[in-house]
Amino acid sequence: MAPDHTHIQSTSADGPGPSTLACRSQNAAPLTPTHRPGTNGLVLDHDCWFLSGPTAVGKSALAIDLAGRLGAEIVSVDSMAVYRGLDIGTAKPTLQEQARVPHHVIDVVDPSESYSVARWLVDAGRAVDAIRLRGNKILFVGGTPLYLRSVRDGLALLPEGDPELRREFLAEAARSSPLALHAKLATIDPRTAARLHPNDTRRIVRALEVAQTTGRTLSESFAPKPHPVFATQMMILDMSRRLLVARIEQRVTEMFSRGLVEEVQSAAALPGSIGLTARQGAGYAESLDLLAGRITLPEAIRRTQQRTRQLAKRQLTWLRSFQDAVWITA
C-alpha cells in the first residue's frame, strides 16, 4: 500500500483531471525561483511538476496526457534512458510519443560511456532553460531515486573520480565478491548501502571513493531541507503490489520477445561495447550472459524479472520519503 497521504483515484486512463492539478496549485504558497546548492544551474520554480513511481507502473502513458494538460515538455529522470540505442530494455518513449510531447535528456550518450548524476543535473538544467524560453512548463518524469534526490536536496560538490582508487576497489571486489564490498560500504555509510543493491558495484565503488577522498559519506553530501516545490507539485503513480508484479513479469517477457537480445548484441558490437553504467539496466547484463552461453533464455527472463521486482521495491521504499506528494492510484 502507498503511504497514508492524499490519494487520487484515477477514473480513466487519462489520469488526474485539470481540476485536481488546479486545486494543488491554487492552495500552495507561492514559490520563489530557487537554485539549490549543488544542482549545477538547475532552477526550480512554480512551472516545474514531477511525476514518479515504480518501474512498469505506467508513468510514460500518464506523462504524455499530463504534459498536454499542463502545456509542458518532459524532462526524463531515468538513468538508463540517456543511452542511445538501448530502447527496448529501458522502455524508452516511442518516436510517436516523443512526437506528441518533446522529451529531453534521452539518447544523449553511447552505451559505452559512463553517465553521472552530476552530468544529468547539467543536461536537465540546460533543457529546463530551453523549455522556459519557449514559454512552456516542465514535467520531470521518471523513477531514478538518485536523480530525484539530487534535485530535491541538492548535491555537494563531489570530487572527480579517482581512477587508481577505483581500480583498487574493483580489484578488491574481484578478489572477494561484490557482497563484501557492499558490506564494507555498510560500515562506512549505512544509509547509502541500504539504498544500493549489493551487486551494484559501480555505485558502491563511487560511494567508497567519495568517503575516502572527502572524509564525508555520500549520504552526508545531500542538503537536509527538500525544495518546497516537492510539497506542492509532486505526484507518484502507484498500484497494488499484485498488479505491479504481474505488469513487471509481462513487460520483461515482452522485452525479450520484441528483440532485447538483438538490441544488446548490436550495442555490444559498437566500439567500447556496453559500459558498466549501461549494464546496470535490468535485462542488459542478463542478455550478455545469454549471448555468451552462460545462461539460457528462460533463466535470462527469470533473472530480469527478479531484478526488476527488486528495483520497483527499492523505488517505492525511497519514494515514501516524499511526505507531501500526491499518490495516484493507477
Which residues are CB-neighbours of 60 under 8 A, at least 6 positions away?
91, 93, 97, 141
**Residue-level pLDDT at 19:** 32
Domains of the chain, earliest start first: 7-155+225-241+323-329 (3.40.50.300), 163-220 (1.10.20.140), 243-311 (1.10.287.890)
**Residue-level pLDDT at 203:** 85
Question: Mutual orientation of helices 260-268 and 284-291 as an angle, nearest 10°?
Answer: 80
Rounded CA separation 107/80 (Å): 9
Q: Of 158, 138, 136, 137, whose CA–CA distance to 146 is shortest? A: 158
Alpha helices for 15-142 (secondary structure H): 18-27, 59-70, 95-100, 117-133
Phi-psi region for residue 105, left (φ > 0), alpha (ψ -120 to 50) or beta?
left
Name the pTM for this structure: 0.74
Which residues are CB-neighbours of 265 under 8 A, at least 6 positions away?
287, 291
pLDDT tens per residue across span 272-292 = 999 999 999 999 999 999 999
**Computed over its alpha carbons, how large is the radius of gyration of the chain?**
20
Across-strand partners of 35?
43
Q: What is the DSSP string of 103-124?
A: EESSS-B-TTS---HHHHHHHH
Rounded CA separation 213/160 (Å): 10
Rounded CA separation 169/311 (Å): 24
Q: Of 154, 142, 143, 144, whose CA–CA distance to 115 is shortest? A: 144
Rounded CA separation 115/319 (Å): 23
**Residue-level pLDDT at 76:** 98
Output phi, psi for 118, to 5 deg: -65, -40
CB 77 within 8 A of CB 143: yes
Tens digit of each residue's pLDDT, the chain (330 residues): 444 333 333 333 333 333 333 333 333 444 444 444 445 568 889 999 999 999 999 999 999 999 999 999 999 999 999 999 999 999 999 999 999 999 999 999 999 999 999 899 999 999 999 999 999 999 999 999 889 988 887 766 566 677 888 888 888 888 888 888 999 999 999 988 988 888 888 889 988 988 888 888 887 766 556 678 888 899 999 999 999 999 999 999 999 999 999 999 999 999 999 999 999 999 999 999 999 999 999 999 999 999 999 999 999 999 998 888 999 998
Rounded CA separation 189/211 (Å): 8
The helix (H) or strand (E) run that includes residue 292 is none
**Residue-level pLDDT at 30:** 43
Rounded CA separation 36/44 (Å): 8
User: How distant is the alpha carbon of residue 194 from its chain centre?
Assistant: 17
Rounded CA separation 40/155 (Å): 9
